[in-house]
């Protein structure tokens, strides 16, 4: 009985060994995969290098236009303004819209006539806004048990505003005084801006200085990063910006025989041009 058991165990072990051997034997598909494996470490290295080159080609191909050195250049110029933009409004009231409009037209016409009589061209006067709105009051009404406020329509308000380009800055203060006099209490002065009527004559110098500034920056970046700067591959500019330089204001006090006119500070204007430039790397 013991001998029979030993024979059974021995046969089971042989069967297990044969099964493992068969499961590790490559099939047709596995044989093809084994044959495609590199035969040496050199072949393994070449396959790896090929993958690296292929991956670099794909990733850099999407960013070729952005490769290189990209810089911004800036140039500024300070000049005196030669025009003023004056914003003036006429505000009137009336019991109804017709009365409010008639009152407004009376003072608005007086203002326009005064401007034209003082060498302001019709082409330099532009209507900016006309608004008609109701006027309400909120009186108290006392009832048997409480006091309440009610909205009551009492009339209408008309507002008419114009933008005036004043070319004679020396007479700006006197012009404001005259507009206020003919418009009386209906006049609203909403602000003054100074500018240059034409800046094209300064654009050549601004562009030249801005591009030179960009080239200087690009040469510095190339030097500090240890590369050779290539040619220009892209150049663009942003709109010119301007602002008044407050520390250079010059006060103009306009005097007449009867009174002193409104003092005006025209200052200087600073125009700035920004350019963006891209250079290749050699």
Look at the domain 66-80+199-281 and name its fold: Translation Initiation Factor IF3 (3.30.110)
pLDDT (0 to 100) of residue 66: 59
Of residues 89, 104, 64, the one with CA closest to residue 278: 64
pLDDT per position as a tens digit, 93-121: 999 999 999 999 999 999 999 999 998 99
pLDDT (0 to 100) of residue 146: 83
Tokens of 237: 């500019």
Of the listed ranges 1-5, 127-131, 250-254, 271-275, the least confidently predicted one is: 250-254
State mean pLDDT over 69-89: 93
pLDDT (0 to 100) of residue 144: 79
Write down the domain spans for the chain. 66-80+199-281, 83-195
Find where tokens 């044989």 sit.
Answer: 31
More confident residue, 63 or 85: 85
Of the listed ranges 22-31, 197-206, 269-278, the least confidently predicted one is: 22-31
- 218 C-beta neighbours (distance < 10 Å), count: 21
> With bands split at pLDDT 50, 70 and 90, how would you rate the model's confidence at 261?
low
Three-state DSSP class for 62?
Answer: coil
Polymer length of the chain: 282
Distances (CA, A) of 104 to 6, 89, 93, 118, 152: 125, 10, 8, 21, 23
Of the listed ranges 25-39, 171-185, 205-219, the least confidently predicted one is: 25-39
pLDDT (0 to 100) of residue 242: 78
State mean pLDDT over 195-201: 88
> With bands split at pLDDT 50, 70 and 90, how would you rate the model's confidence at 38?
very low
What is the CATH superfamily name and number for domain 83-195?
A: Protein of unknown function (DUF541), domain 2 (3.30.70.2970)
Cα(258)–Cα(256) distance, integer angstroms:
6
Residue ranges of alpha helices (H) inside the chain are: 2-23, 28-35, 41-61, 97-117, 172-183, 200-225
Contact (CB, 8 A) for 90 and 108? yes
Q: Which helix (H) or strand (E) holds 85?
A: strand 83-94
Tokens of 228: 């050779």
Residue 168 pLDDT > 80: yes
pTM above 0.85, yes or no: no
Residue 39 pLDDT > 70: no
């Amino acid at each position: 009985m013991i001998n029979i058991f030993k024979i059974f165990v021995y046969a089971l072990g042989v069967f297990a060994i044969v099964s493992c051997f068969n499961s590790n034997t490559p099939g047709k598909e596995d044989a093809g995969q084994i044959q495609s494996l590199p035969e040496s470490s050199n072949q393994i290295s070449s396959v790896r290098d090929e993958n690296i080159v292929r991956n670099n080609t794909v990733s850099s191909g999407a960013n070729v236009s952005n490769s290189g050195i990209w810089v911004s250049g800036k140039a500024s110029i300070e000049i005196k303004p030669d025009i003023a933009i004056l914003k003036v409004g006429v505000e009137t009231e009336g019991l109804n819209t017709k009365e409010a409009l008639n009152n407004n037209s009376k003072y608005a016409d007086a203002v326009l006539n005064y401007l034209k009589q003082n060498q302001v061209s019709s082409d330099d006067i532009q209507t900016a806004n006309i608004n008609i709105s109701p006027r309400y009051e909120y009186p108290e009404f006392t009832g048997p048990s409480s006091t309440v406020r009610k909205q009551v329509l009492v009339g209408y308000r008309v507002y008419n505003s114009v933008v005036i380009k004043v070319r004679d800055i020396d007479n700006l203060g006197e012009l404001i005084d005259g507009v206020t006099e003919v418009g009386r209490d209906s006049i609203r002065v909403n602000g003054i801006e100074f500018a240059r009527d034409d800046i094209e004559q300064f654009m050549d110098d601004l562009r030249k200085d801005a591009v030179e500034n960009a080239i200087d920056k690009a040469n510095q970046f190339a030097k500090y990063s240890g590369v050779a700067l290539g040619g220009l591959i892209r150049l663009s500019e942003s709109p010119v910006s301007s602002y008044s330089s407050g520390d250079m204001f010059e006060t103009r006090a306009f005097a007449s025989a009867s009174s002193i006119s409104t003092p005006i500070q025209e200052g200087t204007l600073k125009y700035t041009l920004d350019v963006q430039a891209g250079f290749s790397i050699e």
